[in-house]
Structure 1
Amino acid sequence: MRRPLHLSAAAVLLLVVTACTSLGVVSAWLNDQVAFTTPQLQRQLDTRFPRTFDKLGGLVSVTLDNPHLTIPQGNRRLRLDFDLGVGGVAADDRPGRLSLVSGLRYDPATRGLHLEDPELLQFDLPGSNALLKGGARGIVNSLLSEYARSEPVYRLDDDLLSKLPSGKRIGNVEITDGRVVVHLAR
């Protein structure tokens, strides 16, 4: 007799957990916004790196690895730090560092949050002479622009987008209180 009672209790618990999860998404959209935390964004970034980009017809390759996303308190831009590798003529095998700050925007074509106006903060290439470093900086800036245009930092999942209230669309994106907040618009 006890076995069916345990199964029904487990089934009820599963239904409650599922309902709470769905309710959280729906209530977020009912408030015309949904917020993402740094760990949520970081988890998605971790699955997409390392990434290697070929530039100048393959003469130079840039590898970005170990992304680390932070949202500094009181700031309206997020910070991304990467290990940086540059391959090609006169390149050094030791990793460098790349740091940038950026706002975010929503792109309906990719259903993702993309960098907006990224600004390079730190660019270190060990063993590089000044000329290579200056040329590499230009390549990295071009890479950042390309990445911001085509690659999302975070992709909104189909389940979340399917729960958009009727007549609403994704509006502006802001970074506030250590979170990324996506607002809805008509």
Structure 2
Amino acid sequence: MNARRHFLSLAAGLLAVGALLTGCSTVGALLGNDVSFSQQQLQQSLNRNFPKHYDKLGGLVSMTLMNPRLSIPEGSSRLRLDFDIGLGALGSDSSQPSGRFALSSALRYDPSTRGLHLDQPMIENVDVPALGGVMNSSSRALLNAWLSDYSRQEPVYRFDNSLLDRLGSRRIGATEISNGHVTVHLDQ
């Protein structure tokens, strides 16, 4: 009888630990000095936050970014983001894609937003057929202004309260992109 009680209490303990680990979005947060995020986790976060609409010059020029596609190229220390872009001028509709652009970026953690932000983003490619396939100076300025604001204010991925609670007093350190994952190193 005593062995059976011991077995049942051990089984109940293992189930409780299993439930805790299942609820954890990144098991590494409980087990090591790193928290790892997959491309899919970052993509899901982006999907919830787009499309985004921007007006400049009192609405004379508008831009809508939609359909973000995040990838982590093999062997790269930067992620890649591809967007469809809608451009409008003088009140024309920017909600339909009129082209696309891509950027690459490292990531950094910002404690004020509790999220991973673009770090040193660079526009890699722009294809807007309505503009002859290349950007003119006003559309480039609009895109660069958006990129600067976005990287400063909006995270690509926001840490949830449960993950931050599990980290306890540990500080979030450097962020690294490699082997198809984003790894956040934790300081003691």
TM-score, normalized by length of structure 1?
0.83
Structure 2 residue aligned with 1:150:
153
Corresponding residue pairs, total? 176
Between 49-58 and 36-45, the greater mean CA deviation after superposition: 49-58
Structure 1 residue aligned with 2:137:
134
Matched residues in 2 for 1:101 and 1:51: separation? 19
Structure 2 residue aligned with 1:110:
113
Deviation at 1:134, TM superposition (A): 2.5
Deviation at 1:116, TM superposition (A): 0.4
Matched residues in 2 for 1:25 and 1:39: separation? 13
Matched residues in 1 for 2:50 and 2:183: separation? 24
Of all paired residues, the percent bearing the same amino acid is 48
User: RMSD across aligned C-alpha pairs, in angstroms?
Assistant: 2.8
Q: In the TM superposition, what whole-angstrom CA distance separates every residue of 1:26-54 from its partner, at most 9, and x where no partner exists?
A: 65344211000000000111111111111
Distance 1:57 1:90, change over 3 A: closer
Paired residue secondary structure (2:167): coil
Distance 1:131 1:123, change over 3 A: closer
Gaps of 5+ in 2: 1-11
| Runs of 4+ deviating beyond 2 Å | 12-17, 19-30, 89-94, 129-134
Paired residue secondary structure (2:112): coil
Is the contact between residue 123 and residue 137 of structure 1 (CA under 8 Å) also seen in structure 2?
no
Deviation at 1:152, TM superposition (A): 0.4
Are 1:35 and 2:36 an aligned pair? yes
Matched residues in 1 for 2:17 and 2:31: separation? 20
Deviation at 1:56, TM superposition (A): 2.2
TM-score, normalized by length of structure 2?
0.82
Alignment map for 1:36-185 (pairs within 5 Å): 36-89=37-90, 95-128=98-131, 133-166=136-169, 168-185=170-187
